[in-house]
Structure 1
Amino acid sequence: MAARPTTRFAPSPTGYLHLGHAHSALLAWHAAREGGGRFLLRIEDIDRTRCRPEFTDAITKDLAWLGLDWDGPVRVQSAHFREYRAALDSLASRGLLYPCFCTRAEIAREVAAIGAAPHGPDGPLYPGTCRRLLPAERAARIASGQPYALRLDMAAALAAAGGPLSYEELGQGRLRCDPARFGDAVLARKDTPASYHLCVTHDDALQGVTLVTRGDDLRPATDLHRLLQVLMGWPEPAYRHHALLLGPDGRRLAKRDGARSLREMRAAGMDAAAVRAMAGA
């Protein structure tokens, strides 16, 4: 890892921040400030159906209230779809992507027909239906306006990467990667020009992030991210995956479960220092 680390906090504005977010943000902020480095704020709002401007505004207010400052302008992913398209075009030009016209229902039926279908971190692996389409049929479907996603041809990608992959986990050393467990991962969805996996890896490289601090629930994704870094010639950051904060019921704090937000704590007049202590970072 660089002597002066560059870290980032990259929330999705799909709800208000809670203590779990504060924990992650504070870990990254402390790592940067204590190491004399940079702390970046990035808004990962590629999902235009769920992201809201009011949540983005609340994120900056909550972080400022906690006493966190960031370096440089805030990068907002939805303003950079052309950059992600260029990365996709690069992969496609090397035969590493293919269009997938399958609906979720069609995929579910195929998986059910297989029976004991292999599973990855995100569920049953895609059975490769559209990978087997002839070029002429692909072209005809695209010309007819049929919507499609873009999938990574995992076998071709691994061959292009060459050799085993690994990443540096702080405190644990080099850990082996197994990107194949994701199967032919989606890198651009029918309703979203680029996926989380592509955008986050692209932006970490572009912004010079040298230490990725994020929750342990995202540890499996690192395998796929390392593959993309190798394929694109992007630099490799170090990683620190932290434990998730749990609620009184023993479940991890989550927006969808109604975890109490920082905004509510701030409105209730709670002391920011006390909230930082509750966040445990």
Structure 2
Amino acid sequence: MTQFVMNRSKLWSRKSKEDKVFDLINFLFLTTLSLVVLYPLYFIIIASISNPDSVYNGDVWFWPQGITFEGYERIFQDNRIWTGYKNTVLYTVVGTLVNVTLTLMAAYALSRKDLVGRNFFMILFVFTMFFSGGLIPTYLVVKNLGMVDTMWALIIPKAVAVWNLIVARTFFQSTIPDELLESAKMDGCSNTKFFLKIVLPLSKPIIAVMVLFYAVTHWNSFFDALIYLNNEDKYPLQLILRSILIQNEASASMVGDVESFAAQQRIADLIKYGVIIVAAIPLLILYPFIQKYFVKGALIGSIKG
């Protein structure tokens, strides 16, 4: 650590006055930007464990006041939260598996120079980025396929995101050389075996990127569930969160034992903060494990080629 500080000090002393001013401005700007982005999340965390009266009176700014976990206790006593968690995990896992599988297969095929008509197929995919049938025609298609009020209505219509497909295709074009395929064919390797045994093991960065992109999309999605799902037992967590945050529908199991209406409103606000944290924790836990792959895959897939 001491050696690191000494090296940084020497590097700083060698810089010109203009470079030092530039670095200082960058540091101040990035620090301010980081605070602007991180403070709302920090405030939600401390507000979720503070006395609701202190939050309501505006006394909570930098430190929690009157620490209490009553909000979290009431949240986890509500069966809707557990049902929403279960549904969201199911939709995210199954949906991400379908998305990543189809995206990687399509991207690899479109990256192959020997695919007849690959430019035509790529144009068809890109066309859907700018033009779509709209909500009503899409709903009618989903209904005619018998997928309304099923989890497949949340997965099949958006099984492949074109932007992710382009990023993955660019990655394959930049990373998998044609000579590798030719060498594998000389050893009697089929296209399927080459994709499964060689391409996928070399594509961990882009797989991590696709998993993160699709998983975040599924985890945060509520609009499709709002349109296609009728049974509340199938609602994802974000749709339940929407009801609590926007429609102010804290269930009776959360605030039913509080007699005063004003106290109910304050506890309901405390519950809102807690629900936001509960919904965000899984993704905050997931990201650090795939960060190194995410940065590498996103840069290679979006810049090269």
TM-score when normalising by structure 2: 0.20
Of structures 1 and 2, the one with the larger relative CO (CA 8 A, separation 6+) is 2
Task: Decide which structure has greater helix share.
Answer: 2
Return the index of the structure with the highest Cα Rg: 2
TM-score when normalising by structure 1: 0.21
Task: Decide which structure has greater strand share.
Answer: 1
